Structure 1
Amino acid sequence: MARPRTPVLTAARIADAAMELIDSGKPFGVNALARALGVQPSSLYNHLDGRRAIIELVRGRLVERYLAAIPDELPWDEAVELVVRSERRMYTEHPHIVPLIATETVTDAAAIASYDQMAAILLRGGFPEHEVLVLIQLLDAFALGSGLDYAAPEDVWEPATPTLHLTRLLSYQPSGKVRSDQAFEIGLDMLLTSLRARLAAHRHTQADGS
């Protein structure tokens, strides 16, 4: 009688299974992933070094699916907007993944290349080198937060006691995804406006010093 074949493991198959497991909201770990793949945990350890490595595989898979290369001729602010919108879509479609990838050091090659691309966009736009990584962190935090906000309850605030202003202001506030989309659009506009002003101030300072 032929022995049952062991499922062939590839980086893509491991990453896809991990994403499906995390998206389901079930407990995530090496043993749980091995069960989902129909293999022994030792088989996974033959391909990667534990839970952190799996998370990095997932991060890379997300980058491959959502973050395409940005044309060099695109103005820096349009490029930044495109990346942030793509990241937000990535995080809103996979909210359970956000806490995992946000707490691990980025090592995946595709993710590193994506951040490197963002650095190139900002440098090409004229931002000073010593600020570029700080700005990238700021943009990343905004996209991550927007992804988590998309998974928030339908009604974020429900005062049980009298308030000075909140209860009245809630009458202007949409709920659910409409509220989240509105907050994202306003926030993105504020970020881009602030970045343009900061760049203009930097250029003005440079001109005065030349």
Structure 2
Amino acid sequence: MARPKVPLLSVDRIADAALELVDSGAPFGVNALARKLGVTPSSLYNHVDGRDGIIELMRGRFAAEAGAQLHDGPWDEIVAETLRAQRRMYARHPNLVPLIVGKTITDPFVIASYDHLASTLVAAGFPDDEVLGVIALLDAFAIGFGLDLASPHDIWQPDGETQTLGRLIADAPHGDERSDRAFELGLDLLVESLRGRLARTRG
């Protein structure tokens, strides 16, 4: 029998299949992924470094597909662009969040993105001993609003009368529009707070 012209496995195919598996809500693991690909678990280890390696493949893949780019510009524009890109990627793959938050980041593309953000903040004047804390704050913000974008069309549904909440819900947008408005409001508040902290640091 002739050998197939296209290899049965590749890093790209493994990453795609792993994301499909996680997005489906099925339990994730090396054995489950091997079954999905129709190969033995040992075959996967020829291409990836076990479960952690597969998670990093997915992290790098979804970061790239979200359109995160390393642009130069004012620090506040870089922060806003980074948060919008991160929100998109978390919203597209909400089931992946518990896997990646429990795994040390090693993917070269993602490391380069964080390095660019850290360098931007340091160059803007944020103290070295605060930059990692600011990045952690930005990460938490992006994860929260990424999951919010994947939330139900209606967030609140009171059964009875309320003092204020019911009226606000009736007058407010729903679905993606609600999430987009809340994100942009939160982004404005966050960036404005960082501007104020930076001004106090410089003063």
Task: State whether TM-score is above 0.5.
Answer: yes
The alignment partner of 2:169 has SS state of helix
Match of 1:129 in 2: 128
Give 1:50 shift: 2.6
> Are 1:69 and 2:49 matched, yes or no?
no
The alignment partner of 2:156 has SS state of coil
Match of 2:113 in 1: 114
Separation in 2 of the partners of 1:64 and 1:175?
A: 29
Match of 2:186 in 1: 187
CA RMSD, 1 decimal: 1.9
Separation in 2 of the partners of 1:29 and 1:75?
A: 41
Separation in 2 of the partners of 1:61 and 1:155?
A: 30
Separation in 1 of the partners of 2:162 and 2:148?
A: 23
Q: Does the 8 A contact of 1:17 with 1:33 survive in 2?
A: yes
The alignment partner of 1:199 has SS state of helix
Separation in 1 of the partners of 2:104 and 2:172?
A: 37
In structure 2, the CA distance between the partners of 1:22 and 1:132, relative to structure 1 (3 Å rule), is same
Give 1:37 shift: 1.9
Match of 1:16 in 2: 16
Separation in 1 of the partners of 2:202 and 2:167?
A: 43
More displaced 10-residue stretch of structure 1: 2-11 or 161-170: 2-11
Separation in 1 of the partners of 2:102 and 2:167?
A: 37
Q: Matched residues, percent identical? A: 56
Separation in 1 of the partners of 2:149 and 2:143?
A: 10
Match of 1:36 in 2: 36
Separation in 1 of the partners of 2:85 and 2:51?
A: 26
Q: Does the 8 A contact of 1:153 with 1:176 survive in 2?
A: yes
Q: Which runs of 5+ in 1 are unaligned?
A: 205-210
Q: Does the 8 A contact of 1:155 with 1:175 survive in 2?
A: yes
Separation in 1 of the partners of 2:165 and 2:63?
A: 39
Match of 2:59 in 1: 59
Q: Which runs of 4+ in 1 moved over 4 A?
A: 3-7
Q: Deviation per CA, 1:91-149, whole angstroms, max 9, x where unpaired?
A: 22222222221222212222111111110110111101000000001111111111100
Separation in 2 of the partners of 1:159 and 1:51?
A: 43
TM-score by length of 2: 0.90
Q: Does the 8 A contact of 1:150 with 1:177 survive in 2?
A: yes
Separation in 1 of the partners of 2:140 and 2:2?
A: 50
Q: How many residues align?
A: 201
TM-score by length of 1: 0.88
**2:186 partner amino acid:** G
Match of 2:166 in 1: 167
Give 1:41 shift: 1.1
> Are 1:101 and 2:100 matched, yes or no?
yes
Match of 1:49 in 2: 49
> Are 1:91 and 2:103 matched, yes or no?
no
Separation in 1 of the partners of 2:143 and 2:36?
A: 27
Q: Which runs of 5+ in 2 are unaligned?
A: none
